[in-house]
Amino acid sequence: MSNPSHLLDEATRRLDALRSTIERWNYEYYALDRPSASDAEYDALMNELRAIETAHPELITPESPTQRVGTTPQAGFAEVAHPLPMLSLSNVYNEEELRGWAARLSRVVPDTPFRFVTEAKIDGLAVALTYVDGAFHRGSTRGDGFVGEDISANLRTVRNLPLRLNPDAGPAPAAIEVRGEVYMRIADFDRLNDRIVDEGGRPFMNPRNAAAGSLRQLDPRVTASRPLRLFVYSIGYVEGGIMPSTHLEALAWLRSFGFDATPDAMPNETIDEVWERCQWWLGRRDELAFQIDGVVVKVDDLLQQEELGYVAREPRWATAYKFPAIQQTTQLLDILINVGRTGALNPTAVLEPVNIGGVVVSRATLHNEDEIERKDLRIGDWVIVQRAGDVIPQIVQSIPERRTGEERIFVMPDWCPVCGAPTHREPGEAMRYCTNSACPAQLKQHVQHFVSRGAMDIAGLGEKLVDRFIDLGMIHDVGDLYALDWEAVAALDRLGEKSAANLRAAIEASKAQPLARLINALGIRHIGERSAVLLAERFGSLEALALADRDTIANVPGIGPVLAASVFDFFHEPRNLAVIGKLRTAGVRTESDEGPAGNGGALAGATIVLTGRFAGLSRTDAEEQLRRLGANVTSSVSKKTSAVFAGEDAGSKADRARALSVPLLDEAMLRAVLAGEALPDPPAKPARARNAARASAGADA
């Protein structure tokens, strides 16, 4: 009689062997394009694997190749906060701008030679992949750079995504985040579209849209049916391991783990070589099996990347050379006016639809009346249209030679097309504005901005419901949101008591949003999320900001005179003050917990980084307490960092602190500093210490 335990052991061993072989064949086929097995051999092993897993379902693991086929549909995508932001890149469009970018690096870190790396900019969807103890744990979209969507189930279906890191590459880190681009090959895209058309569906416009749409399917089985692939291009962070010292080493490390890294990445010693490589990629653009829209240029040394740091939402140490836009000729059919939330009259060109680089373009922004006049655009003109940076449609110029005499000169309206109020253009300004602050178009867009995710984040209050409230006269400004007649709301068609109760709870919860979100939500001209954070940190309350003069506001780093004038004018408009009064009366938070910056504090001027886990103290609580003491808490280590506090399982941040001779302190010291003890003085740094530290870090890697 057979021993059941012995049979289970045999099944486990056979499963391990099958999975290892199939994953190796997947890597050879999808990543290397060098298959070593026939389709029949591959199918035979997959069938055997499925049979064993059917007989022993308790042995099925998330890393099994059979799990790539997709599971049951999901209800929606959960949000994922990125431990390190997935920032966008600055763009350069010619050699002069590329050299200007390189010159700025030398000004930030003088007398330092840089080696660059050039690699193709894949036209796909950016993703972040987290592996824990070598196994694929979670994958998410880039989202807004700070919060993405959990699409782990869909990413498991991407054939060349390793479900487990190759053990032959050595011990995997305790945790590693890998960043990459999911894309679709042009030939695969064409076959997919042919299949969709044969089935009576609507084809995708281009491979990027096809990849993005496929990854965001709620049913992973749909994603599994799409020919998606992955290129990885960087490491986000490493915990429990040592980060490579250069970008090229990082790519090699990723390849050893089984990833398909961006192809033909090349080191370049000078900016002349970088430009030559950009032109090399441009010349190959139409020969590639996949679409690229430019070349990414990075500083190779990762420590130099840390030193260069970031500006706004972009790293200083990288940029993207965007290929010249693809142009087409079409006809300008009409010019329509859209009234924005600030009252600006925005002209939009209505075009005879034309395909530009795989995207059908039927509209293009015209910015303002000066641009229409400068380009001599007339309704009925034949025009040259391009997608600037291969993204934003714009009219390059008209073609006067093709005029028939039936074209019409466009004139900006003297009266608002929405409310009929007079329009006005200030001398020296490019935009014309509706003079009616109660204009329904302004109000609708203003309220939509106020409730949006980056502002007060009121879930359930979408564009249609906002328009409905305004059309019914239930709200006349954003302050009225907090005084809605909830019986009347519940009585509205297609709403009901439950939806009204959920909306009421969301509006009530928004009262506790941080001050920066409220400042952004107010819709002050030129003030976005980042500027709102700067103002909230500097003034600490809406009242203090309202009382500040222009010069005081302009002196806030990152604000300047133009933004200061907008803020000052906003808070000196009686109607705006009346709305703020409503918000304050309703209980909306108008102060920050920390109070205004610049009030001193034991850690004023210090830059602190936290890494690892702290016993009995959450990372969020520690960061808030440090900020109350005046510290600037950041997520990356540079030579400007004052101290790094490391808890359990501290990872690459601790390694970089050692390499840069930044004080590395333990949890006991963190608690002492939070209790009022001063930071210890940094150790004296001997000559050439930085080079020695980097050499040591390189040897450890």
Summarised one tens digit per residue, pLDDT across range 88-98 is: 888 898 999 99
pLDDT for residue 40 is more than 70:
no
Q: Can you tell me the mean pLDDT for 288-304? A: 94
Asked whether the predicted pLDDT for residue 700 surpasses 50, the reply is no
Over the chain, what is the mean pLDDT? 85
Tally of CB atoms within 10 A around 449: 20
In a domain, 198, yes or no: yes
User: Are 526 and 645 contained in the same domain?
Assistant: no
What pLDDT, on the 0 to 100 scale, is given for residue 682?
67
pLDDT for res 701: 30
Please indicate, yes or no, if residue 78 is contained in any of the structural domains. Answer: no
Same domain, 240 and 102: yes
- Same-domain status, 13 and 62: yes
Instruction: Determine the pLDDT at residue 595.
Output: 55
The answer to whether 520 touches 455, Cβ cutoff 8 Å, is yes
Q: How far apart are CA 643 and CA 658, in angstroms?
A: 11
**Measured distance CA(355)–CA(329) in Å, rounded:** 10
Length of the chain in terms of residues written:
701
Tell me, yes or no, whether 123 and 210 share the same domain: yes
Does the pLDDT of residue 503 top 80, yes or no? yes
- Please tell me whether residues 96 and 65 are part of one structural domain: no
Mean pLDDT of 650-670: 85
Q: Which of 371, 401, 431 is the last residue of a domain?
A: 401
Say what the pLDDT of residue 71 is.
44
Residue 418 lies in a domain: no
Q: What is the pLDDT of residue 478?
A: 92
Question: Is 582 marked active-site?
Answer: no
pTM: 0.53
Rounded mean pLDDT, 142-157: 89
Average pLDDT over residues 653-679: 86
Does position 224 have pLDDT exceeding 50, yes or no? yes
Please tell me the distance from the alpha carbon of residue 694 to that of residue 659, in angstroms, as a whole number. 6
Arithmetic mean of pLDDT, 59-74: 65
- High-pLDDT (> 90) share of the chain, %: 39
Q: State the Cα–Cα distance between residues 414 and 49, nearest whole angstrom.
A: 73
- Are residue 672 and residue 549 in the same domain, yes or no? no
* Number of separate domains in the chain: 6
Shared domain check, 235 and 173: yes
Q: What mean pLDDT do residues 666-677 have?
A: 88
Based on the domain organization, do 502 and 531 belong to the same domain?
no
Q: Residue 698: is its pLDDT beyond 80?
A: no
Mean pLDDT on 95-123: 94
pLDDT of residue 507: 95
Range of the domain at 18: 4-69
Could you tell me if residue 412 is inside a domain? Answer: no
Q: What is the pLDDT of residue 688?
A: 37
pLDDT confidence tier of residue 74, bands split at 50, 70 and 90: low
CATH number of the domain enclosing 288: 3.30.470.30
**Measured distance CA(148)–CA(460) in Å, rounded:** 19
Strands 327-339 and 345-356: antiparallel
Q: Looking at the predicted structure, is the pLDDT value of residue 338 above 70?
A: yes
pLDDT computed for residue 181 by the predictor: 96
Q: Are residues 108 and 158 in the same domain?
A: yes
- Most confident region among 256-265, 527-536, 667-676 by mean pLDDT: 256-265
Q: Which of 80-84, 266-270, 321-325, 368-372 has the lowest mean pLDDT?
A: 321-325
Sequence-ordered list of residues with C-beta below 8 angstroms from that of 140, at least 6 positions apart, any chain: 80, 82, 127, 128, 148, 149, 150, 151, 152
What is d(CA 483, CA 485) in angstroms, rounded to the nearest whole number?
Answer: 7
Q: What is the mean pLDDT of residues 584-608?
A: 76
Question: Cα 425 to the chain's mean position, in Å?
Answer: 35
In 3D, which of 217, 207, 159 has the Cα closest to residue 187?
Answer: 207
